[in-house]
């Protein structure tokens, strides 16, 4: 019996050794095949056709489109595109560029994937929450098309690194969501003569423009206008609303990202990245999209390059040497996060909780979020007056005397505490209330709750809904 067991054990060991040897041989064979494939791909002498067999199958349906053809496909394969932003716009645009066969795709983004991204940033998923967005998006793109070269830049684009990053690519897609980044990207593209496809989306609306196309030197009137030509002055600070504050429907940002990819593909296959075709930039248009509009799409003809533009006119003041010193936050009026109140005009969420629990102290809690947000969740006994109703010098919310939203039972010296979602709008409203004289010359305290309902969740109630 012992002899039989020993023989069986020896046989199992021999089988295991054989299996390991077989694995090693398979790995060696795979390496040999990979090297042979690389040699075939790199040697024009041994390869009869300009594309690999899989590429003909993969891109065949778009190559038979008359405006693309084999020449357009080869241009796509040789092209390099930089996508700034791996979010709601960057996800669909990068997916379609990768699917189309753009040879080199770079992704710039310094953020990580959050659960709140997933309803619209469709290349990320629950398993990549906490991962760098550039790594998450490239992981998906590699599974979609392994033939391409993907380059990640896990950082935010800044005046200091913009020229170095952008110079590596032929075409740029602006998939960001803030004026500071849009001006920076446009300026960099003008200085480096790169065409730019820029898009934005908020709530149910979107906007798309192709800038600096053709990418001619500053001063050449035939070159396409830049972002400064279209928007010489940044929007007022209090009118800038992000997706996090104003909301966004996923399909809306998806539509705009797909259109960005489409415009990028058109520029490439038509040979318009390097002035291969004579195109006058004065015929460019701006595309407006509204999910609730009729029609949903409208086009507006854009003006030519502005003769007074500091970036692309003949009198341009901007240079690559000056770019690193540019402060786009100051230019857009957002030198730092909103902090317009003095420390004594603000209160922490945990401090307000103590006041709320003190029955002897009467006060008013003013929630200045929009009603749609207030309906999602609200603090007990809070009064909802949206911050938008305080805009303008003749706001009904700041009428002379006692505002209608103040309860009749509230004393004239009762404190007013203002809260919003993140602690920005509440500061603005607090300041407006004081300017309107509701503080009764200092007899009534009017304070902002620092950090808003986000701070309430962090300091007071961890179960508070985060949206």
**pLDDT tens digits, 154-179:** 999 999 999 999 999 999 999 998 89
Mean pLDDT of 143-153: 97
Using the predicted structure, report yes or no on whether residue 109 has a pLDDT greater than 50: yes
Structure tokens at 75: 């241009």
Q: pLDDT exceeding 90 applies to what percent of the chain?
A: 66
CATH for 343-459 (3.30.930.10, 3.40.50.1110, 3.30.470.20, 3.40.250.10): 3.40.250.10
Candidate ranges 82-86, 289-293, 372-376, 397-401; pick with highest mean pLDDT? 82-86
Query: Minimum mean pLDDT among 8-12, 208-212, 359-363, 380-384: which range?
Result: 8-12
Structure tokens at 144: 């979609």
Give this prediction's pTM. 0.75
Using the predicted structure, report yes or no on whether residue 107 has a pLDDT greater than 70: yes
Annotated binding site for ATP: 88, 109, 116-120, 133, 177-178
Using the predicted structure, report yes or no on whether residue 336 has a pLDDT greater than 60: no
More confident residue, 12 or 124: 124
CATH for 53-331 (3.40.50.1110, 3.40.50.720, 3.30.430.20, 3.40.50.850): 3.40.50.720
Using the predicted structure, report yes or no on whether residue 86 has a pLDDT greater than 50: yes
Using the predicted structure, report yes or no on whether residue 247 has a pLDDT greater than 50: yes
Annotated binding site for Zn(2+): 226, 229, 309, 312
What pLDDT was estimated at residue 454? 94
Using the predicted structure, report yes or no on whether residue 45 has a pLDDT greater than 50: no
End-to-end CA distance of the chain: 70
Candidate ranges 27-41, 159-173, 381-395; pick with highest mean pLDDT? 159-173
Kindly report the three-state secondary structure assignment for every residue of the chain: CHHHHHHHHHHHHHHHHHHHHHHHHHHHHHHHHHHHHHHHHHCCCCCCCCCCHHHHHHHHHHHCCCCCHHHHHHHHHHCEEEEECCCCCHHHHHHHHHHHCCCEEEEECCCECCHHHCCCCCCCCHHHCCCEHHHHHHHHHHHHCCCCEEEEECCCCCCCCHHHHHCCCCEEEECCCCHHHHHHHHHHHHHHCCCEEEEEEEECEEEEEEECCCCCCCCCCCCCCCHHHHCCCCCCHHHCCCHHHHCECHHHHHHHHHHHHHHHHHHHHCCCCCCCCCCCHHHCEEEEEECCCCCCEEEEECCCCCCCCCCCCCCCCCCCCCHHHCCHHHHCCCCCCCCCCCHHHEECHHHHHHHHHCCCCCEEEEECCCHHHHCCCCCCCCEECCHHHHCCCCCHHHCCCCCCCCCCCCCCCCEEEEECCCCCHHHHHHHHHHHCCCCCCCCCCEEEECCHHHHHHHHCCCCCCCC
Structure tokens at 244: 């996090």
What pLDDT was estimated at residue 397? 59
Annotated binding site: 88, 109, 116-120, 133, 177-178, 226, 229, 309, 312
Catalytic residues: 243, 420
* Residue 333 binned pLDDT confidence (cut-offs 50, 70, 90): confident
Burial class (CB in 10 A: 0-12, 13-18, 19+), 31: exposed
Using the predicted structure, report yes or no on whether residue 416 has a pLDDT greater than 60: yes
Q: Which of these, 196, 156, 155, 199, lies nearest to 175 by C-alpha position?
A: 199
Candidate ranges 267-281, 347-361, 435-449; pick with highest mean pLDDT? 435-449
Mean pLDDT of 41-63: 80
More confident residue, 6 or 325: 325
- Which residues contact residue 418 at a Cβ distance below 8 angstroms, ignoring those fewer than 6 apart? 366, 368, 426, 427, 429, 430, 433, 446, 447, 448, 449
What confidence tens digit (pLDDT) does each residue in 268-301 have?
A: 999 988 654 556 666 688 999 999 998 999 999 9
Is 343-459 in the same CATH topology as 53-331?
Answer: no
Structure tokens at 444: 């009534």
Q: How far apart are CA 90 and CA 137, in angstroms?
A: 9
What pLDDT was estimated at residue 4? 58
Mean pLDDT of 431-436: 91
**Domain residue spans of the chain:** 53-331, 343-459
Q: How far apart are CA 444 and CA 162, in angstroms?
A: 49
* Residue 188 binned pLDDT confidence (cut-offs 50, 70, 90): very high
Q: pLDDT exceeding 70 applies to what percent of the chain?
A: 82
* Residue 266 binned pLDDT confidence (cut-offs 50, 70, 90): very high
Structure tokens at 462: 């961890």
Using the predicted structure, report yes or no on whether residue 388 has a pLDDT greater than 60: yes
Using the predicted structure, report yes or no on whether residue 10 has a pLDDT greater than 70: no
What pLDDT was estimated at residue 357? 77
């Amino acid at each position: 019996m012992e002899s039989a067991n020993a023989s069986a054990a020896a046989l199992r060991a021999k089988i295991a050794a054989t299996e390991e040897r077989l694995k090693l041989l398979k790995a060696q064979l795979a390496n040999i095949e990979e090297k042979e494939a690389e040699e075939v791909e790199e040697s024009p002498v041994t390869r009869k056709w300009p594309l690999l067999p899989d590429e003909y199958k993969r891109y065949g349906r778009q190559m038979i489109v008359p405006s693309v053809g084999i020449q357009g496909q080869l241009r796509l394969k040789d092209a390099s595109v930089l996508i700034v932003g791996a979010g709601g716009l960057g996800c669909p645009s990068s997916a379609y560029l990768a699917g189309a066969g753009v040879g080199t795709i770079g992704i710039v983004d310094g953020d990580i994937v959050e659960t709140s991204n997933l309803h619209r940033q469709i290349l990320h998923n629950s398993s990549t929450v906490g991962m760098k967005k550039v790594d998450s998006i490239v992981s998906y793109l590699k599974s979609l098309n392994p033939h391409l070269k993907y380059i990640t830049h896990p950082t935010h684009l800044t005046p200091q690194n913009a020229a170095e990053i952008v110079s590596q690519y032929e075409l740029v897609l602006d998939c960001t969501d803030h004026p500071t980044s849009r001006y920076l990207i446009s300026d960099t593209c003008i200085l480096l003569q790169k065409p730019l496809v820029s898009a934005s989306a908020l709530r149910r609306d979107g906007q798309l423009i192709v800038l600096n196309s053709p990418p001619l030197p500053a001063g050449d009137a035939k070159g396409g206008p830049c972002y400064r030509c279209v928007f010489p002055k940044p929007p007022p600070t209090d009118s800038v609303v992000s997706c996090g504050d104003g909301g966004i429907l996923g399909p809306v940002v998806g539509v705009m990202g797909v259109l960005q990819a489409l415009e990028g593909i058109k520029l490439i296959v038509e040979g318009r990245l390097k002035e291969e075709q004579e195109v006058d930039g004065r015929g460019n248009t701006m595309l407006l999209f509204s999910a609730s509009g009729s029609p949903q799409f409208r086009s507006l003809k854009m003006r030519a390059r502005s003769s007074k533009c500091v970036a692309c006119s003949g009198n341009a003041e901007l240079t690559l040497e000056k770019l690193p010193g540019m402060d786009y936050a100051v230019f857009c009026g957002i030198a730092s996060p909103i902090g317009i109140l003095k420390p004594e005009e603000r209160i922490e969420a945990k401090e307000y909780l103590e006041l709320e629990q003190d029955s002897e102290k009467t006060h008013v809690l003013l929630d200045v979020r929009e009603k749609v947000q207030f309906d999602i969740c609200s603090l007990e006994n809070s009064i909802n007056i949206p911050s938008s109703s305080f805009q303008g010098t003749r706001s009904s919310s700041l009428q002379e005397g006692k505002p209608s939203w103040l309860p009749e039972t509230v004393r004239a010296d009762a404190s007013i505490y203002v809260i919003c979602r993140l602690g920005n709008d509440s500061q603005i409203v607090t300041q407006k209330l004081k300017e309107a004289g509701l503080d009764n010359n200092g007899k009534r305290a009017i304070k902002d709750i620092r950090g808003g309902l986000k701070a309430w969740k962090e300091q007071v109630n961890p179960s508070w809904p985060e949206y």
